[in-house]
């Protein structure tokens, strides 16, 4: 590298020197592309495992990782030296005013130029290079055999970084008592490699694409939990402050508080059940507050519809927190809130802004798909209410896992309120067995015909205390 001489030389020479620096950056960038390429050969020291997971074709025999690592070390050192020198020069420039006064570029402009155009990119190149994760030469840690191969199925650097386990800083113990943190993604992500890589291909720190629908599609396809991203999510440019809680519960929110780009509708009125092009099918009518106001507080013509007041009378004051699993706009939670019961409502944005709607009403939406174990601890909830999504389509074994998970989070004496479950008449016995297997106390248990072939079923069940 040429000798540094800012304080003595003319701008043309400075520019020449900068060219060398940028040349270096180009080398660095191409180096990091090299790593991406060759990292596919990660397991060349452990071919057996590699064969097991990926077959032999991905092993690049003969690639000298040690040499590559030495090379990176060298580049890192040089970068560090360069950075020091540049910063020193800026300091010197600040002291020696008159040198640059003669030229057409002012000293201040020069300093700014160096700081913004040279030091900052150099610094980020430095950081980026440090974050390139090289294969470990010592072999694979016992515990990471499972996920380290996964890293090498991805090409996009951001997702590789994301799923690489993050070791605690040297000598530190984390609050969880683990040596490292695993950022996880659902294993089904591997099936959606292209979409996931698209999703993770962004400029760090800049705006994300308006792609929540891509994210949701991945979630619903089993790529769940999704990786976090280091880009800024977009928001409505004209976001209005939400209505106060005494108004928000029963009022359609301000249209300006939703980004409508990925929906068929462009405002809340359009989501009305009267509109055949509303873009969603489940819970039609649930964006009409007049209809919603009737639910669970007025006697319906069907015996399967229970009233909240009747339910709360079973154990006055004992129902305080719960979960509403279903598809809707949070009306159950709104009613319960008025009665001082806190309900979290699961919601997916299936064709309409359900999450935004619930949140703008002043309630808590929980954005989860069916794929996941619920993020609540055992024996914590007073109530699980479910309406609108559990019905005859569901695989019995899937339903079984879901019911056991609900049982897990319900506290002893807590309630499972199955609201308007429906299925084919001939399947009813199978489903009944599912619900009965837990030996809950039956407070209400009602079936009612839905159509010629289908039946409705509602139940109010209490989880018993368990001796063990």
Residues sharing a CB contact under 8 Å with residue 425, sequence separation 6 or more, in sequence order: 453, 454, 455
Provide the minimum distance between the beta carbon of 233 and ligand NAG in the complex, in angstroms, as a whole number: 30
Instruction: Return the closest-CA partner of residue 263 out of 195, 365, 330, 349.
Output: 349
What angle (nearest 5°) sits at the alpha carbon of residue 263, between those of residues 259 and 267?
A: 65
Using the rule CB under 6 A, give the single segment among 192-200, 229-237, 244-252, 395-403 that binds ligand NAG: 244-252
Q: Candidates 12, 30, 206, 299: give the one binding ligand NAG (CB under 6 A).
A: 299
Assess 103 for contact with ligand NAG (CB under 6 A): yes
Q: Are 248 and 362 in contact (CB under 8 A)?
A: yes
**Pairing between β-strand 454-462 and β-strand 410-424 as defined by DSSP bridges:** antiparallel
Pick 155 or 312: Cβ nearer ligand NAG: 312
Cβ 139 to ligand NAG shortest distance, Å: 6
Percent helix, strand and coil across the chain, each to the nearest 5: 45, 15, 45
247 forms part of the interface with ligand NAG (CB under 6 A): yes
Closest CA to 6 of 104, 119, 14: 14
Tokens of 376: 């609540």
For residue 225, is the peptide bond before it cis, meaning its omega torsion is within 30 degrees of 0? yes
* Site size with ligand NAG, rule: CB under 6 A: 12
Give the other-Cβ count within 10 Å of 19's Cβ.
11
Closest approach, Cβ 339 to ligand NAG, in A, equals: 5
Contact status: 12 vs ligand NAG (CB under 6 A): no
Part of the chain binding ligand NAG (CB under 6 A), chosen from 71-79, 98-106, 230-238, 441-449 = 98-106
Among 12, 30, 104, 206, binds ligand NAG (CB under 6 A): 104
Interaction with ligand NAG in 187-216: which residues (CB under 6 A)?
A: none
Check residue 317 for interaction with ligand NAG (CB under 6 A).
no
Counting contacts by CB under 6 A, is residue 340 touching ligand NAG? yes
Angle between helices 65-95 and 120-131 (to 10 degrees): 160
Q: From 66-74, 100-108, 158-166, 252-260, give the range in contact with ligand NAG by CB under 6 A.
A: 100-108
CB 42 within 8 A of CB 54: no
Q: What is the DSSP letter of 104?
A: S
Q: Which residue of 12, 30, 206, 246 would you call a contact of ligand NAG, by CB under 6 A?
A: 246
- Binding to ligand NAG by residue 301, rule CB under 6 A? no
Does residue 142 bind ligand NAG (CB under 6 A)? yes
Which stretches of the chain bind ligand NAG, using CB under 6 A? Answer: 102-104, 139, 142, 244, 246-247, 298-299, 339-340
């Amino acid at each position: 590298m040429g000798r540094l001489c800012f304080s003595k030389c003319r701008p043309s020479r400075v520019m020449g020197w900068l060219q060398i620096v940028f040349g270096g950056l180009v080398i660095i960038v191409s180096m990091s592309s090299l790593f991406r390429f060759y990292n596919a050969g990660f397991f060349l020291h452990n071919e057996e495992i590699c064969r097991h997971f990926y077959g032999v074709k991905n092993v690049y025999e003969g690639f000298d990782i040690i040499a590559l690592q030495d090379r990176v070390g060298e580049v890192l050192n040089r970068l560090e030296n360069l950075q020091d020198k540049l910063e020193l020069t800026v300091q010197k420039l600040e002291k020696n005013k008159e040198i640059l006064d003669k030229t057409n570029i002012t000293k201040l402009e020069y300093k700014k130029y160096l700081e913004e155009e040279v030091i900052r990119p150099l610094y980020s190149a430095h950081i980026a290079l440090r974050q390139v994760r090289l294969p470990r030469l010592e072999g694979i840690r016992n515990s990471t055999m499972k996920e380290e191969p996964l890293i090498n199925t991805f090409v996009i650097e951001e997702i590789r970084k994301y799923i690489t386990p993050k070791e605690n800083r040297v000598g530190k113990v984390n609050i969880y008592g683990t040596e490292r943190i695993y950022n996880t993604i659902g294993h089904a992500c591997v099936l959606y490699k292209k979409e996931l890589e698209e999703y993770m291909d962004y400029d760090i720190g800049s705006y994300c694409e308006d792609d929540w629908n891509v994210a949701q599609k991945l979630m619903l396809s089993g790529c769940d939990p999704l990786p976090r991203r280091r880009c800024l999510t977009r928001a409505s440019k004209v976001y209005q402050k939400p209505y106060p809680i005494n108004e928000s519960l029963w009022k359609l929110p301000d249209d300006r508080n939703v980004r409508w780009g990925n929906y068929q509708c462009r405002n809340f009125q359009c989501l009305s059940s009267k509109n055949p092009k509303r873009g969603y099918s489940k819970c039609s009518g649930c964006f009409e507050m007049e209809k919603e106001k009737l639910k669970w507080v007025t006697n319906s013509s069907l015996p399967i519809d229970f009233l909240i007041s009747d339910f709360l009378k079973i154990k006055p004051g004992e129902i305080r927190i719960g979960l509403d699993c279903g598809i809707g706009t949070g009306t159950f939670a709104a009613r319960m809130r008025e009665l001082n019961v806190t309900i979290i409502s699961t919601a997916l944005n299936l064709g309409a802004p359900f999450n935004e709607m619930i949140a703008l009403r002043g309630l808590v939406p929980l954005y989860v798909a069916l794929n996941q174990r619920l993020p609540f601890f055992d024996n914590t909830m007073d109530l699980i209410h479910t309406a609108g999504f559990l019905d005859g389509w569901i695989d019995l074994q899937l339903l079984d896992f879901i019911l056991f998970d609900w049982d897990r989070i319900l506290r002893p004496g807590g309630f499972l309120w199955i609201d308007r479950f429906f299925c084919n008449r001939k399947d009813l016995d199978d489903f009944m067995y599912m619900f009965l297997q837990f030996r809950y106390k039956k407070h209400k248990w009602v079936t009612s015909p839905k159509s010629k072939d289908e039946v409705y079923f509602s139940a109010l069940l209490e989880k018993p205390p368990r001796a063990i």
